Amino acid sequence: MKCIFVISRMGGGGAERVLANQANEFVANGHDVTIMTIVGGESFYDLSEKVKYISANVKINRKSKITSMFSQMFGFFKARAFFKKMIITESPDIVFSQQRQADIICYSIKGAKVKFKHICYEINDPFARRKVTQQILKKVYEKSQLLVCQSQTVADYYNNVPNRVVIPNPINPTLIPNRENIDGNKVVAVGRLDKQKNFSMLLDAFAQVLMTKPSAYLQIYGEGPLRESLQKKIDLLHIGKSVKLCGAKREVLKYISNAAVFAMSSDYEGMPNALLEAMAIGLPVVCTDFATGVAYELIGENNGFVVPVGDSDAMAKAIIDILEHPERQSVICAQSRKDTTRFYNDKIMNRWLETFENV
């Protein structure tokens, strides 16, 4: 098959990691894959030499709300014209889009009588979107050949879409490090430094943790627009000696593999790769109960805690509980590693390949 994968950018997020994994797996199975992005820049994740990578090179001016609005509008039409030309030139069997803007652009091109099979991939929490965006995407997905969702809760939400399937995110077992030399004081978190991840709540929770466990320390891996404000909050809470914003790391799993706790404080998520991979390593996890229901699907009484969204008290209590019972680490590790084998690449990628071939 000849496939075009469309995404906003190939930065360091979980969605980009999954897409890189998919593209590499597809070309390894003899398919022709082109990745098209709206925003330019090199791929944060390694891509096979066989994967073609092109971009509309849209640049957004965010100096003010007005310039940002007009810049995004211009960027939409620039990307649409570029993608339309490439789709006509390449004549792909399938166009596979993910993320809101990419989905809408591809839908608008198909509406302009350019023929292609369109597969959409819902990678986030639809309940967290504005009502107008929800309705637009329901229309986009309804007109696609197939909608792929990451959980049954999300698939049920799109009951207006006749053709939809559930495929969870894959785990590449070759990237999962061994869990050795556990540091009983180390708490880690991974994610983009933006509002969605609510690291502000995690900082409030960790300030409480330090009152009970003063030897504990927190490392947050990721970059984003809220770095400065999060650092200010760290300073305001006087926890700078125990909390570090570590930036984005290509091999982040190696940095977190010896932690005592993995914490996820997000207000909303689709199926977070960071959580899946932390569990695959065997880390005890504390995670918020975001609306897609994935946390409760993954986390049971033997491998971590699920706490209410935005509840710093519950987050702190759960982290302390794990830190105060180091004897549970080996049991949790074995349970989590066993539970996540069903998400390994060979199982999930076979489903993706079959799905594409049957559209």
Please tell me the predicted confidence (pLDDT) of residue 226. 96
Token reading at 81 = 């014209």
pLDDT in tens, 38-53: 998 889 889 999 999 9
Is the Cβ–Cβ distance between 260 and 189 less than 8 Å?
no
Quote the pLDDT of residue 65: 67
Q: Say which residues have a Cβ less than 8 Å from residue 239's Cβ, sequence separation at least 6.
A: 203, 206, 207, 210
d(CA 50, CA 26): 10
> Could you name the CATH architecture of 2-170+344-358?
3-Layer(aba) Sandwich (3.40)
- Confidence at residue 270, expressed as pLDDT on a 0 to 100 scale: 85
Q: What is the mean pLDDT of each run of 10 residues along the chain (359 residues)?
A: 94 86 92 94 91 89 66 83 94 93 93 87 88 93 94 91 92 90 96 95 98 98 96 97 95 95 94 92 95 86 92 98 92 89 90 90
Q: Could you tell me the fold of the domain covering 173-343?
A: Rossmann fold (3.40.50)
* Local structure of 252: helix, strand or coil: helix
CATH 3.40.50.2000 placement within the chain = 2-170+344-358, 173-343
- Per-residue pLDDT reduced to its tens digit, 225-234: 999 999 999 9
Q: Identify the pLDDT of residue 113.
A: 78
DSSP per-residue string spanning 288-301: E--TT-HHHHH--T
CB atoms within 10 A of CB 215: 9
| Adjacent-strand bridge partners of 220 | 189, 245
Residue 118 has, within 13 A of its CA and on its CB side, a CA count of 23
- Check if the beta carbon of residue 292 is closer than 8 Å to that of residue 125: yes
Would you state the pLDDT for residue 183? 97
